[in-house]
Amino acid sequence: MTKPSFVYVTYIATTPEKVWRALVDTDMMRQYWADPTDDDPAHENVSDWKPGSQWEHRRVDDTRMVDIVGKVVESIPPRRLVITWARPKDAGDDLKHSRVIFDIESHGDGLIRLTVTHKDLEHDPKMLEGISNGWPKVLSNLKTLLETGRALPRSPSAT
Amino acid sequence: MKVLRLRGRVQRDTTGERRSSFSADVDKVFKALADPGRRRLLDLLHRENGQTLTALCEHMDMTRQAVTQHLQQLEEANLVAIVWQGREKLHYLNPVPLHEIHARWIEKFERNRLDVLRNLKKKLEDDDDDKA
């Protein structure tokens, strides 16, 4: 068993069910799966979220370009979601898939603890760098969205 | 554990900081960062993520017990996340709270200029090191 490449934790004042919805509902996803200070388009993750199904990380713009693909490995609402993660050109090569695990636990006091673990990235330094920039943004946006009902505003120059 | 459970309770402080767990969290983050030993531990994890206490102690000029206490404080500030792998306790740098601080005060249009300043400072200071 290799050790995880990255582990990200955030505490959110919300319910496990709302976090789960945010992970699988494209309308919510496109609100937080974006860098509000960046010109890059938001993304949404599209799947039926059943074990064995495919999922796609797709741009929310005219191109609808798919940047990441993978398979759903485990799907236990509202507690645990496990997916694989690869570039579209590596979709058929399981050895090039890394793995992302979302764990949602109640923490008391109306808080949940969301842990995102990304494993098996060691072979891919470029992806490693990209995701280590990406996850903290996505998770802090998600926290803001669930606690305040809105994601961080995009700066005027970005819209 | 009491301290942990209080973390992030929804509140609004006297300065009107936004309701949510931000205010209580941010106090802990700045307190945790206000110590050179704890910053060194974060640097070590930034260089190599997922280390054991024993591995971290090799690079720290203090007792194992002191390192344990510093790690505990970093964990309570949510700057370090723990993963158990068998009997090994691995420590991971968790930058999510730092990103919340970053997102609060740094705007997109400032980022490039800040990068320029940081690079300039680094270059000038490296030059000084060469001379010394």
pLDDT in tens, B12-39: 444 445 444 556 788 999 999 999 999 9
Residue B80: C-alpha distances to residues A9, A107, A110, B119 (Å)? 9, 17, 22, 28
The domains of chain A are located at: 6-105+116-152
Residues A99-145: pLDDT tens digits? Answer: 999 999 999 889 999 999 999 988 888 888 888 888 988 998 899 89
d(CA B104, CA B121): 24
Give the one of B83, B103, B111 whose C-beta lies nearest to A140's C-beta.
B103
This model of the complex carries an ipTM of: 0.81
Q: Please name the residue of chain B whose CA is at the shortest distance from the CA of residue A119.
A: B50
**Interchain contact, B5 vs A108, CB within 8 Å:** yes
Chain B residues touching residue A158 (CB < 8 angstroms): 108
- Across A28-37, B64-73, B117-126, the highest mean pLDDT is recorded for B64-73
Q: Please name the residue of chain A whose CA is at the shortest distance from the CA of residue B104.
A: A152
Chain B residues touching residue A148 (CB < 8 angstroms): 18-20
Give the one of B7, B90, B98 whose C-beta lies nearest to A11's C-beta.
B7
Domains in chain B (CATH in brackets) are 2-94 (1.10.10.10)
Q: How many CA atoms lie within 13 A of A152 on its CB side?
A: 27
Q: Does A105 touch chain B (CB under 8 A)?
A: no
Chain A residues touching residue B78 (CB < 8 angstroms): 9-11
pLDDT of res. B1? 37
CB A21 within 8 A of CB A143: no
Give the one of A11, A152, A157 whose C-beta lies nearest to B21's C-beta.
A11
Q: How far is B65 from chain A (nearest CA, A)?
A: 24
**Interchain contact, B85 vs A1, CB within 8 Å:** yes
pTM (2 d.p.): 0.82
The architecture of the domain spanning A6-105+116-152 is 2-Layer Sandwich (3.30)
Kindly provide the b/e burial profile for residues A5-32, where b requires at least 16 CB atoms within 10 angstroms of the residue's own CB: bbbbbbbbbbbbebbbbbbbeeebbbbb
